[in-house]
Amino acid sequence: DQQVKQNSPSLSVQEGRISILNCDYTNSMFDYFLWYKKYPAEGPTFLISISSIKDKNEDGRFTVFLNKSAKHLSLHIVPSQPGDSAVYFCAASAGSGGSNYKLTFGKGTLLTVNP
């Protein structure tokens, strides 16, 4: 049973436009959510996170929105740049206050930003 779902395996957008990556989760115990960016043959790089006590977190071109009632979060990238082209993973954890937390990942969405 997949607890974190990224239903779009790929997304293609034009440079300068907004990229919206979606993520759904089923485990109501998740209280911390993260987005990672990954290039081929490299480890994931942390992008942005959000705690369940918030519904929005912004960092430069990246904004994450959380809708707890819908168990849905999204990552907005605006404006999109060709260098943003990568696989984006949504991840979630439960009991974020502890040190032995685990991340559950979605399958990722391949974002392609066309010049």
Exposure string (b/e) for 58-86, b if CB count within 10 Å is 16 or more?
eeeebbbbbeeeebebbbbbeebeeebbb
108 binds another protein (CB under 8 A): yes
Asked if 25 contacts 92 with a C-beta cutoff of 8 angstroms, the reply is yes
Please provide the DSSP assignment of 27-39 as one string.
Answer: -TTEEEEEEEEE-
67 binds another protein (CB under 8 A): no
Of 15-23, 56-64, 65-73, 106-114: span binding another protein (CB under 8 A) = 106-114
1 binds another protein (CB under 8 A): no
Of 57, 85, 104, 112, the one binding another protein by CB under 8 A: 104
Asked if 74 contacts 90 with a C-beta cutoff of 8 angstroms, the reply is no
Of 60, 69, 102, 115, the one binding another protein by CB under 8 A: 102
Number of residues that bind another protein (CB under 8 A): 25
List contacts with another protein (CB under 8 A).
4, 9, 32, 34, 36, 41-46, 49, 89, 93, 96, 99-108
